[in-house]
Structure 1
Amino acid sequence: MLKKISLVILIIAYVAAGINHFIHPDGYIDIIPYYLPYPNILNYVAGACEVAFGLMLIFPQSRNLGLTLLIIMLAAFLPVHIAMVQAAPTRVNGYLITPLIAWLRLFLQPLLMMWLAWHHETKK
């Protein structure tokens, strides 16, 4: 039962986060490192991927792939969080990101990866 509730939370969270890339793009664009080209496009691609990968978690046939893709995406976002640690204190979309908040965001990434991995099913 706990695992089902956890899966539903992941689905809702990733689909909502993905949609939020389209509703509030500035907050995401502000944290894309300067050395990555086309931040507007990267933001929308990331949002679309979060929605698509989150929806893949609904179906048992695509769940493992969706979990794997989300883990890879979280790993790909690590440079964003490292840059945020380096820049802290800073303002992102009007919010103050203190060093503590930046470090917490960075350490949250591996925890999210482990949470996703917990749902990965092995073939018997």
Structure 2
Amino acid sequence: MNLHPIIRTLGFYLLVLFYFGAGINHFLNPDFYIPLIPGYLPFPRGINIIAGILEIVLSLSLLIPSFKKGALIGLVVLLILFIPSHIYFIQIGSCVEDSLCVSPWIAWIRLLLIHPLLIGWVLLYLGQKK
């Protein structure tokens, strides 16, 4: 996709900031994320920590040219690994007590539209030459 260079660059740095911020948020607000981890997965606190570390490391790796492609692939894999949490959130009625509660249709939009758009945002930079 041919984007104006300024838009492409701005979008890239927003991507870096978005995933860096998301990673930091896993440590600042673990009680937001832990209830979203499906009950069939062991060690939810550990999963939350690993997810946060991966988002931080991958986002910063985007800034290192020799690591950029691997970091982009890593983000796509990570986003795919988050899909069970989105499905689980729908299964539990789109509401976590004392935390995130949304209308079920918003949870579906998040899974079927927003999550693929996030993957597409990463893939946009995976396909670029620079």
Which moves more between the two structures, 69-78 or 114-123? Answer: 114-123
Question: Is it true that 1:74 corresponds to 2:68 in the alignment?
Answer: no
User: 1:31, 1:92 within 8 Å by CA — same for their partners in 2?
Assistant: no
CA distance in 2 between partners of 1:121 and 1:104 (Å)? 26
Spell out structure 1 runs of 4+ moving beyond 6 A: none
Deviation at 1:95, TM superposition (A): 2.9
Match of 1:110 in 2: 116
SS state at 1:61 partner: coil
Query: Percent same amino acid at aligned positions?
Result: 36
Match of 2:126 in 1: 120
Deviation at 1:122, TM superposition (A): 6.0
- TM-score of the superposed pair, with normalisation by structure 1: 0.92
1:41 matches 2:46? yes
User: How far apart are 1:91 and its partner, in Å?
Assistant: 2.5
Q: Which position in structure 1 is the counterpart of 2:37? A: 32
Q: Which residue of 2 aligns with 1:15?
A: 20
Contact 2:94 2:104 in 1 (8 A): yes
Question: Which has the larger share of strand?
Answer: 1
Matched pairs, number: 124
Q: In structure 1, what is the Cα distance between the partners aligned to 2:23 and 2:11?
A: 18
- The 8 Å contact of residues 85 and 99 in structure 1, kept in 2 or not, is answered as yes
- Secondary structure (helix, strand or coil) at the match of 2:101 reads strand
Provide structure 1 residue ranges, at least 5 long, that are not aligned to the other structure: none
Note closer, same or farther for the CA distance 1:117–1:22 as it changes in structure 2 (3 Å cut): same
- Kept after mapping to 2: 8 A contact 1:27/1:92: no
Is the 8 Å Cα contact of residues 62 and 68 (structure 2) preserved in structure 1? yes
Distance 1:52 1:28 in 2: 18
> Which residue identity does 1:109 align to in structure 2?
H
Post-superposition CA distance 1:28-53 (Å, at most 9, x none): 00100000000000000000000000
Can you list the C-alpha shifts for 1:38-95, whole angstroms capped at 9, x where unaligned? Answer: 0000000000000000111112211111100000000011011011112224235423
Flag structure 2 segments of 5+ consecutive residues without an equivalent. Answer: 1-5
Amino acid at match of 1:45: I
Query: Does the Cα contact within 8 Å between 2:32 and 2:100 map onto a contact in 1?
Result: no
